[in-house]
């Protein structure tokens, strides 16, 4: 409602070309979005806890967590790489190089997720083994 009727921008982060940023200073829309995320986490906690009582679900989460730090460290690099590679095409790529301007932009941005995931997969495959390497034990000489 704040974005649709209140005049706040759809992007909760600063976007070049946008007249208003939701972060500088923080707006009511940014605060409401954060509270909505907290509420969603609280609503999903019980069902997720029950789902993770199944051994196969817990194993899948544990396996995914083995690469969590790699994903965290490299996801922005993957997104910027995809964005940089497509920069010559510019505004012809809606959702990537365009200012957020409504639900159409959100749909277009979601359509880019497979490209971002592919870039992230390249980063994970390239760097995961180096990040899992243990430092040599050092002790008293």
Mean pLDDT of the chain: 85
* pLDDT the model gives residue 89: 78
3-state secondary structure at position 23: strand
User: How far, in Å, CA of 102 to CA of 107, rounded?
Assistant: 9
Residue 83 contacts residue 97 (beta carbons within 8 Å): yes
Q: What angle do CA 44, 117, 49 make, to 5 degrees?
A: 20
pLDDT bracket for residue 1 (50, 70, 90)? confident
pLDDT in tens, 9-67: 877 877 767 777 888 888 899 999 999 999 999 999 999 999 999 999 999 999 888 88
User: 3-class SS at 26?
Assistant: strand
pLDDT of residue 113: 92
Which one has a higher pLDDT value, 120 or 91?
Answer: 120
């Amino acid at each position: 409602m704040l974005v649709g009727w209140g005049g706040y921008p759809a992007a909760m982060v600063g976007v070049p070309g946008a007249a208003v940023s939701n972060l500088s200073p923080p707006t009511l829309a940014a605060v409401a979005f954060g509270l909505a995320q907290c509420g969603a986490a609280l609503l999903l906690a019980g069902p997720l806890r029950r789902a993770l009582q199944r051994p196969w679900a817990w194993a899948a989460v544990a396996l995914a967590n083995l690469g969590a730090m790699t994903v965290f460290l490299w996801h922005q690099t993957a997104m910027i790489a995809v964005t940089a590679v497509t920069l010559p095409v510019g505004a012809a790529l809606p959702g990537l190089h365009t200012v957020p301007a409504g639900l159409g932009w959100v749909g277009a941005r979601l359509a880019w997720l497979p490209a971002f995931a592919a870039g992230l997969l390249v980063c994970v495959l390239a760097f995961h083994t180096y990040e899992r390497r243990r430092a040599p034990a050092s002790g008293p000489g």
